[in-house]
């Protein structure tokens, strides 16, 4: 197991095992991402051999459990070489939010705080897997969090967000779409 895969497993296992009393209540959907379906060109990265629009998908969620004080959302490709690739990390989304609008993943997004993605840019960075490697799964996860705000430094890494979420997740919902070239 590579160091990166070990780190991801070590950090996400406590998150998954932390016991969600209302885990089935939170649901996420998107008019732009259909579960199990190919991601639209509009959401694909623009660069590194891909020519998509690099526009973050619209998301809606419902069923947040009592005590939810904020939300976080991530988009992760576990099939990427090297142990995975983070395409989007946003947190401190107000508890009053019921989703994110298409394009909110721009570096100047209006909702929440965004981290630097695997492409090295703040905000959303769409899929662009290696050519000929088959379709990758892209796991979008929305977390209901029991904290108003997670305190992370401006240069925080994905692992920092996972550590900050640990023990503060009331519920989570996922949606997995695919993309290959």
pLDDT tens string 79-118: 999 999 999 999 999 999 999 999 999 988 788 999 999 9
Beta bridge partners of 179: 136
> What are the CA-CA distances from residue 97 to residues 68, 84, 92 (Å)?
11, 28, 10
Q: Are 158 and 123 in contact (CB under 8 A)?
A: no
Question: pLDDT band at residue 3, thresholds of 50, 70 and 90?
Answer: very low
Determine the pLDDT at residue 24.
Answer: 55
Q: What is the pLDDT of residue 108?
A: 81
Q: Are strands 99-100 and 59-62 parallel, antiparallel or unpaired?
A: antiparallel
H or E segment and range at residue 174: strand 169-179
For range 49-77, the mean pLDDT: 97
Q: Lowest mean pLDDT: which of 8-17, 23-32, 65-74, 163-172?
A: 8-17
Q: What is the pTM of this model?
A: 0.87
Cα 168 to Cα 70, 82, 152: the distances in Å are 10, 28, 14
The two counts, helices (H) then strands (E), for the chain are 2, 10
Q: Which domains does the chain have, with CATH numbers?
A: 3-179 (3.90.280.10)
Residues 6+ apart with CB under 8 A from 17: none
Q: Could you tell me how far CA 11 lies from the centroid of its own chain?
A: 15
Cα separation, 43 vs 59, whole angstroms: 13
Mean predicted confidence (pLDDT) in 124-152: 96
């Amino acid at each position: 197991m590579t160091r990166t895969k070990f780190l991801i497993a070590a950090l996400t296992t406590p998150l998954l095992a932390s016991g969600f009393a209302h885990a089935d209540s939170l649901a996420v959907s998107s008019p732009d991402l259909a579960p199990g379906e190919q991601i639209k060109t509009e959401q694909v990265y623009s660069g590194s051999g891909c020519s998509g629009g690099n526009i973050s998908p619209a998301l809606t969620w419902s069923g947040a459990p009592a005590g939810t004080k904020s939300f976080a959302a991530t988009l992760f490709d576990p099939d990427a070489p090297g142990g995975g690739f983070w395409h989007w990390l946003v947190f401190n989304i107000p508890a009053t939010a019921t989703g994110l609008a298409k394009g909110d993943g721009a570096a100047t997004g209006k909702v929440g705080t965004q981290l630097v993605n695997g492409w090295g840019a703040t905000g959303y960075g769409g899929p662009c897997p290696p050519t000929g490697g088959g379709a990758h799964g892209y796991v979008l996860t929305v977390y209901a969090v029991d904290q108003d705000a997670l305190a992370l430094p401006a240069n925080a890494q994905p692992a920092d967000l996972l550590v900050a979420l640990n023990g503060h997740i009331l519920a989570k919902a996922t949606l997995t779409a695919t993309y290959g070239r």
